[in-house]
Chain A
Amino acid sequence: MPRIKLEPRAQSSRLMTYLSPLLAVVLTLMGAAVLFAILGRDPLEAYRAFFIDPVSTLYGIGELGVKGAPLILCAIGLAIGFRANVWNIGAEGQFILGAIAGGGVGLFFEPLLGPLTMPAMLIAGALGGLMWAAIPAFLKTRFNANEILTSLMLTYVASLLLNYLVRGPWRDPQGYNFPQSKPFDGYAVFNPFFTGTRLGLGALMALLAVVGGWFLMSRSFLGYQIKVVGLTPAAATYAGFNQKRVVWFCLAISGALAGLAGVNEVAGPIGQLLPTISPGYGFTAIIVAFLGRLHPFGILLAGLLIALSYLGGEAAQISLNLPVAVVGVFQGMLLFFLLACELLVRYRVVIGAPAVQSIAA
């Protein structure tokens, strides 16, 4: 049997940097075909239902942006943190808090604020997410508490808080006892930009976040500091970079972006506060961030691809009677393949007998 060895590359392979996400997508599609076959569906037909039918109408293409926007907004923020080894995985909770804070302004202050309602809601939403992310930042920098666990725990707390509000004090009195708030009204409604679609402010903000994220990471000193802290913390200390400030910044920006996504979602496509306002956008954004190789433009493409998988899941549920949970399996599978293919960026796979090292081995 030929020996398979890994040789570290002197430099990360540029080719593989771009090729490995594509390879992971191809492998996932192959895995999906196997899964479709196991579930007793014709893979080709399932592919069409999943990936082509949903975007064959103008409305469908708009939906791609509607679903992609929250994913991209969350993922841009998360990716900045991941670069610095700050693992905020509570974007889902920050999304919810953004929806609560921004939605609260929209529900109760619309008559007072008039045309200022929308900007006020956006600011409140961003602040809501930011404050929620500030908790893990504070606990990390002050008490050394692991931000992975604290940010995740706060997601459950956020979800319970939203449940409390829509079942209790914020429940719509005319809502037939359903757990939901009043629908947003007047200036508090974020209308779509294009007729025939639901595409609106959220998508525009996602695009701005992509450009802003690119500028921050590639063109600013702060972005440089973030990257150094992530790659070699020792060098960052030596250079005098304030690591606590980087932790604060990463969590604050990702919280604010997730909060913006939240308020856009409830004031736009949903139109009111409900117990469940997200199909796990905050978690899926982790996959989007990695699939986009933590690069803003990569994240834009990755976000649209994952959005397509959501749309495909909904379409396949109706047309092929496939359980919608299939989407989660695909997303997990994609992340696995992605992580495995990542190896090719940093290492060269050598098949055959090693030449010089054989004595040592």
Chain B
Amino acid sequence: MTELTAILVSMVLSATPLLLAAAGELVTEKSGVLNLGVEGMMIVGAVVGFGAEYNSGSAVMGFAAAAIGGALLAALFGFLTLFFLANQVATGLALTIFGLGLSALIGTAYIGKPLPHLPLLDIPGISDLPVVGPLIFGQDAIVYLSVAVTIAIAWFLSRTRLGLVLRSVGENHEAAHALGYPVRRIRFLAVLFGGAMSGLGGAYLSLAYTPLWSQGMTAGRGWIALALVVFSTWKPWRLLFGAYLFGFFSIVQLHAQGLAVPIAPEFLSMLPYLATILVLVIISRDAKRIRLNAPASLGKAFRATA
């Protein structure tokens, strides 16, 4: 494999967990709920997925368990914010703190244990083509799943009736309620979906990307996923682009070390975080654009008065 192909392939690998988590959060936010607990749901997904695959020997079980784990944590968030009307920002932070602690507790049993890599797609002849072979026809199943789900979300939000209802709940919950839509139920489902996707994203890190469990292994990726949603201005297609862009920023460091670039590795590791700040600044600078694109009820509590 040439250096360029290696860079592109690892870019896709590091983008996939971001894309999964951000796509889920996008749906949650479109319904008007801001869940800042992505980091916590991802890390719990990572450890639960690892444990499930380690004990069952099946990667499918691992990812399924991770999705359920993420969704359970999200359910906790949903109950508190939708039924107990707790502050969404504070509850999201709580979810992250809780998730980091819980995952460390569960994970003590799995430190240093190995797992096999996920099988890669292999179409004889085609997967061996230069560059596009490994890049497009030689990835693991979850990479394809992440892209397919993102496209499905784009279609769901813009082309289906339920997608329209979900968006209307996020834009104006009072109006949606007056029209008879079950605001809380829809939001709860959107929150669960976001949690399951974050769980999958976390599991991708521990089952495919490394594949190892280590404490705090998400290293801020949940927060980067949140920034990606803002970056995409809540549009799934842009999310796809943004995730790969950030995937690139996070792997530059690995390849730069290989190429003996004379910069301390610590500074190269800062890149994804600095890039996140830079991108946020560029996108947010235009306050009007954010206001026009963000779901109008984002982060606001809803209590049916009638």
Contacts and interface: CB of A to CB of B under 8 A. Distances in A.
B85 interface: yes
A170 B225 CA distance: 34
A139 B230 CA distance: 15
B98 A332 contact: yes
Interface string A1-16: 0000010100000000
Interface in A309-361: 323, 325-333, 335-336, 339-340, 342-343, 346-347, 357, 360-361
B162 interface: no
B89 A87 contact: yes
A333 to B, nearest CB: 7
Interface in B226-241: 226-227, 230
Given A157-B270, A335-B94, A145 B280 contact: yes
B280 A335 contact: no
Nearest to B287: A144
Interface in B287-306: 287, 290, 303, 306
B219 A156 contact: yes
B86 A343 contact: yes
B144 interface: no
Contacts of A290: 90
B94 A336 contact: yes
Interface string B29-60: 00000001000000000000000000000000
A7 to B, nearest CB: 10
Interface stretch (A122-130, A146-154, A197-205, A251-259): A146-154
Contacts of B86: 339-340, 342-343
Interface string B225-266: 011001000000000000000000000000000000000101
Nearest to A140: B284
Given A139-B281, A144-B287, A149-B226, A325 B267 contact: no
Nearest to B227: A149
A286 B97 contact: yes
Contact of A329 (B95, B98, B226, B273): B98
A331 B97 contact: yes
Interface residues of B, number: 48
A148 B89 contact: yes
Interface in B86-114: 86-87, 89-91, 93-95, 97-102, 104-105, 107-108
B277 A145 contact: yes
B285 A144 contact: yes
Contact of A146 (B95, B100, B284): B284
A160 B266 contact: yes
A28 to B, nearest CB: 11
Interface residues of A, number: 49
B230 to A, nearest CB: 7
Interface stretch (A102-110, A113-121, A161-169): A161-169
Contacts of B91: 336, 339
Contact of A156 (B101, B270, B290): B270
Interface string B165-207: 0000000000000000000000000000000000000000000
Nearest to A335: B94
Q: Looking at A146, A150, A152, which has the most chain B CB atoms within 10 Å of its CB?
A: A152
A156 B273 contact: yes
Contact of B100 (A139, A154, A323, A328): A328
Contacts of B277: 139, 145, 149-150, 153-154
A133 to B, nearest CB: 14
Contacts of A149: 223, 226-227, 230, 276-277, 280
A286 B266 CA distance: 27
A335 B306 CA distance: 31
B266 A161 contact: yes
12 contacts: A8-B303, A139-B277, A153-B224, A160-B266, A286-B93, A290-B90, A326-B105, A329-B105, A331-B98, A332-B99, A336-B94, A340-B80
Interface of B: 36, 76, 80, 84-87, 89-91, 93-95, 97-102, 104-105, 107-108, 215, 219-220, 223-224, 226-227, 230, 264, 266-267, 269-270, 273-274, 276-277, 280-281, 284-285, 287, 290, 303, 306
Interface of A: 6, 8, 87, 89, 139, 143-146, 148-150, 152-154, 156-157, 160-161, 163-164, 167-168, 283-284, 286-287, 290, 323, 325-333, 335-336, 339-340, 342-343, 346-347, 357, 360-361
